[in-house]
Amino acid sequence: GSFKAENERLFAEFLECCSRLTEEHPEVIPFLASRHQKASAEFLASAEFRNVLGRCLTRVQSKRSKVYVYINELCTVLKAHTQRRKLALSS
């Protein structure tokens, strides 16, 4: 089955939680959101992404002092699954 809806809900929850903890650097949340936007649809609906998200969310809720560690982790995972841009090269 697809975890798309559940992952979207978890990601929104993670963003909301982190935005309160990263007020000193307001550029962080839009950056994370853009990484999410650029990730492949297949990955965003995967069980793997759900596991990463679930883990990051639980951790950030229990250890707020490590918020950037978890954001960085999620960014790295999303970057690794960035959709490949199709180069429209015409000769």
Partner 1 sequence: GAVPVEEEEEDDDDPENRIAKKMLLEEIKANLSSD
Closest distance of CB 29 from partner 1, Å = 11
Inter-helix orientation angle 4-21/28-38, to 10°: 160
- In this structure, what is the dihedral angle of CA atoms 26, 62, 35, 13, given to the nearest 10 degrees? -80
Give min distance, CB of 59 to partner 1, in A: 12
Footprint on this chain of partner 1 (rule: CB under 8 A): 25, 27-28, 31, 64-69, 71-72, 75
Q: 31 vs 48, which CB is nearer to partner 1? A: 31
In the complex with partner 1, the residue whose CB is nearer, 44 or 74, is 74
Q: Which of 53, 19, 61 shows the shortest CA–CA distance to 36?
A: 53
